[in-house]
Amino acid sequence: MTAGARTPLPTLAVVGATGAVGTVMCDLLSSRKNVWGEIRLIASSRSAGRTLSVRGGQVTVQALAPEVFDGVDVAMFDVPDEVSAEWAPIAVARGAVAVDNSGAFRMDPDVPLVVPEINPEQVRNRPKGIVANANCTTLAMIVAVAPLHREYGLRELVLASYQAVSGAGQIGVDTLHDQLAKVAGDRTLGSRPGNVRQAIGDESGPFPAPLALNVVPWAGSLKDAGWSSEELKMRNESRKILGLPDLKVSATCVRVPVVTGHSIAVHAVFGSEVDAESAREALRNAPGVILVDDPAAGEFPMPIDAVGTDPSWVGRIRRSLDDPRALDLFVTGDNLRKGAALNTAQIAELLAVEFTGR
């Protein structure tokens, strides 16, 4: 390269480009600052040949194969765990840094779990050439909790999540709409035992029980001692992201009849006395956070407002009535954006800076 020549922009691959999160990713690539040269869209063989719009142009989807990673600098993966576990190391072997949105590598001690607003420096600590993205519920919550941890020193979290059906993929969204169509107009439903189940029939889709006119206190798969995988993710990932291996975390994950937007009720205990107004000020100035906290005006963080936006929306901030070191708050965020596509894109952009030196 001649003196003074510009470093070429790095090449990006999006693996799982035709999925729900991959589609959001393509939208983000078109709306965020352009730090990429070539963009390759990759999916399963059944989606190969489709064209998707990226940055105002049409890009043809390629079938997943080892050679598609040749010349790629950063590969973003939004595919099932088993696919990432197989293909992310292949991408690395072909010269790419893999940014993985699945759960395959999150708790691997040789893979950093990065939230750019919290621990961006960890992106350089990647002995396996892989950087992991956190679970969507953890991400919505942790962006709001981290500024409070910096202010007061976090000691304990008690969490209750209210998770949208899109967290289960398109089948979850379709299942909820189908159930709502079945119960619409019948005002007797929910007033007698079993009549909601009778109206919906066997259309529970990926959920263990009907969601229309209901909430289901379960998300994920069954693990030891009755805990669900989603609940353990919130505990283990919070510890790793914040660098607090002994942090006490107890979570109950609940599925609710919301299309998009995971919400979390947070009880946070700190090492020093807290003040609600000081906490609001810390959150007001925190990156990736919108403060919506005026109960007198009916202003709360809700998924119907957060959907389609990037930040975590935070409100209902109260100092505990029983413990001057504890705060209660409510957080909501779009699980397909910050909870998946956006955080992955932000990690990739940190890597792009490495390649360009900009």
Catalytic residues: 136, 262
Which residue stretches of the chain are H helix? 20-31, 81-93, 136-152, 170-183, 195-200, 229-242, 276-284, 303-306, 342-356
Helices (H) and strands (E) in the chain, counts: 9, 13
Structural contact between residues 218 and 230, judged by C-beta atoms closer than 8 angstroms: no
CA distances from 182 to 165, 211, 213, 280 (A): 17, 12, 11, 43
For 274, half-sphere exposure in the C-beta direction (CA atoms, 13 angstrom radius) is 32
DSSP per position, 232-244 = HHHHHHHHHHHT-
- Token pair, residue 265, equals 């009720």
SS3 89: helix
Residue 219 to residues 24, 170, 206, 229: CA-CA distances in angstroms?
A: 23, 16, 10, 8
Angle between helices 136-152 and 229-242 in degrees, nearest 10: 40
Question: What radius of gyration do the chain's Cα atoms show?
Answer: 21
